[in-house]
Copies of this chain bind each other. A is one copy, B any other.
Amino acid sequence: MRCAILGGAGFLGRHIGRAMASEGAEVWSVDRSLSAAGSAPWLAGEVQADCFDLPSWWDVVGGADVIVHLASSTVPATASEDPIQDVQTNLVGTLRLLQELRKKAVRPRLLFASSGGAVYGRPQYVPLCEAHPTMPMGAYGATKLAIEHHLRIEEAQHGLPCRILRLSNPYGEWQQPHGVQGVIAVFAHRALNAQPLDVWGDGSVVRDFVYAADVGYAFAAAARHEGETRIFNIGGGAGHSVNDIVHTLEQLLGHAVERRVFPARPFDPPVNVLDIQRAQNELFWKPTMAFEDGVAKSVEWLRTVA
């Protein structure tokens, strides 16, 4: 099985590539950037290209049986700042990909990384199962959801098989600590550098964190999946509060960490956790990394790049 990972040089792309290669796939990265030399020995090759421009990479890779679609030009904050740009690049870009794929005699399977934190909107109950209403509260989630719909429609009308993985918050090695996403990497990096951690409210807000290598195995399972189901939640299986993260870091570092406390943000739902029963039942997948061990992996990796 040949697999092209769109966004394969990034944090999540590396984990997914490694997981799929470990299960025997020939894995290519397609990304605007190349991996640092020698840093991704599991790859069969890399193409530096615009992921959404299929003709620029398809023949170089030699075609693909599976496309893992992680390509995104935005994060929630930048999508809200410029929703038109978000639609133009990510939604229209994906539609351009689909249009090119219609021309292929044999259609690859497309695995799409959607966002379990963004497409559902404010939880009506937790844990959120896949049948929960989808009422995104930001442009980022609206675009992820629109892409999901177009993928389902493309399969029904043009036979391109798809699987949609709604991820909670991935964390682990290779997650950059300087971004606006990834609280575990940000906190771990700041704690390692004796900088205070910014906490909104009392730190009781609970989120779903999933170790990125576990996400990689979920994609590998989705590549093999034979059933009728198309949408799967992929999460850590339990929630962790902001205070849990801080305590875990304090235990790993062996000392207290300073916090800077800001007022609670009223738009933050108090709890957001995904129900992953469907993925367990149908993909035969579940996360295997304990939270404390996963955070330790993040800290170890950040020490090597500090």
Contacts and interface: CB of A to CB of B under 8 A. Distances in A.
Interface of A: 80, 83-84, 87-88, 91-92, 95-96, 99, 131, 133-139, 141-143, 145-146, 149-150, 152-153, 156-157
A283 to B, nearest CB: 21
B134 A153 contact: no
B137 A142 contact: no
A95 B99 contact: no
A52 to B, nearest CB: 12
A88 B84 CA distance: 10
A135 B150 contact: no
Nearest to A157: B80
18 contacts: A83-B95, A84-B95, A84-B99, A87-B95, A91-B91, A131-B133, A133-B134, A134-B134, A135-B152, A136-B149, A137-B152, A137-B153, A137-B156, A138-B157, A139-B150, A142-B146, A142-B150, A142-B153
Given A95-B83, A146-B142, A133 B136 contact: no
Contacts of A95: 83-84, 87
A78 to B, nearest CB: 14
B83 A150 contact: yes
A21 to B, nearest CB: 34
A142 B145 CA distance: 9
B91 A87 contact: yes
Nearest to A134: B134
Q: How many copies of this chain sit in the oligomeric assembly?
A: 2
B153 A149 contact: no
Contacts of A145: 146, 149
B149 A135 contact: yes
A6 to B, nearest CB: 18
A131 B124 CA distance: 12
- Give the residue among A83, A136, A143 with the most B Cβ atoms within 10 A: A83
A97 to B, nearest CB: 11
Contacts of A92: 84, 87-88
Contact of A153 (B88, B139, B153): B139
Contacts of A136: 149, 153
A92 B95 CA distance: 14
A154 B37 CA distance: 44
Contacts of A133: 131, 133-134
Nearest to A88: B92
A249 to B, nearest CB: 32
A152 B142 CA distance: 10
5 smallest beta-carbon distances between A and B, as pairs: A142-B149, A146-B146, A84-B95, A83-B95, A136-B149
